[in-house]
Amino acid sequence: MDGFKSMWSIGIYSGDSPFELKPVQPGPVLTKDNVSDIPAEFVADPFMLRRDRTWYMFFEVMNSETKLGEIGLAASDNGSSWTYQHIVVKEPFHLSYPYVFKSQNDYYMLPETLDAGAVCLYKALDFPSRWSCVARLLEGQFADPSVFHCDDLWWMFACSTPYQHDTLRLYYASDLTGPWTEHPKSPIIRDDKCRARPAGRILKFDNQVFRFAQDCGPQYGSSVRVFKITELTIKSYAEVEHHRSPILGAGGNGWNASRMHHVDACRQPDGKWLACVDGAS
């Protein structure tokens, strides 16, 4: 994640729709001050999932001494109040955007690992605290890789211009560990920093697929836009912007005064949505 000088924090939003979200409480649920095992400059890029009756959130913790991101863990019984646990993934290179997901009976994480020169897949050896890198899915520098499974294939969006934020590429594979093939229409976005860089989990519901994107036009990570994928095959791709986009933006004051650039929305058993987001003051 860019923007080291910004004070990023994590909040919890909820709503009747993933595109109509409001804060559960006025302030953030996690800040750098909650991190107890390393000196932290900020926390950002949250992803969460629920196992049994506990929510687990994974997020970037910027180590203020090394200036490298590490992956932290927090837990919650109700999804609204969170307790920081500890760092769960640390590497000699920068980590962020810990995209966690479950496939069959296993838990995986696909963090941003661009300084490793590849998109690296991690698997939980003992969820949620022990993880190991099990595969290099793509060689090269990619920001915010985002995967999902649809129509018997794995798909991945990734930004191949991590410092310009203006190019989005699309890949597909039969198996999660690959081999991965670039889509013939890829890059599906060129020279557009307002909608190229991923901004959270790919969302599937009501037989539709949605992707979230950072609007980096005014500045990096200014707001979160959402696009409905209308065509997705190994030969074609099309999307349209949702009529409620952008769904998140600067609050004008407080913890998210200047920017918001990430969302991970989860549907509850009662049909309502709970989302972890981040913002910069």
- Specify if 270 maps to a domain: yes
Question: For position 5, what pLDDT does the model report?
Answer: 55
- Specify if 190 maps to a domain: yes
- The tally of domains found in the chain comes to 1
pLDDT band at 6 (very low <50, low <70, confident <90, very high): low
What tens digit of pLDDT does each residue of 89-98 get?
999 999 999 9
- Specify if 210 maps to a domain: yes
- Specify if 2 maps to a domain: no
What tens digit of pLDDT does each residue of 100-136 get?
999 999 999 999 999 999 999 999 999 999 999 999 9
Question: For position 3, what pLDDT does the model report?
Answer: 45
Q: What is the CATH number of the domain that holds 29?
A: 2.115.10.20
Residue 2 confidence (pLDDT) above 70: no
- Which stretches does DSSP call E strand in the chain? 8-17, 20-23, 40-51, 54-63, 69-76, 83-89, 96-103, 106-112, 118-126, 130-139, 143-150, 153-159, 168-173, 181-182, 203-205, 208-215, 223-232, 237-241, 259-267, 273-280
pLDDT band at 218 (very low <50, low <70, confident <90, very high): confident
- Specify if 38 maps to a domain: yes
pTM: 0.97
Domain residue limits at 152: 8-280
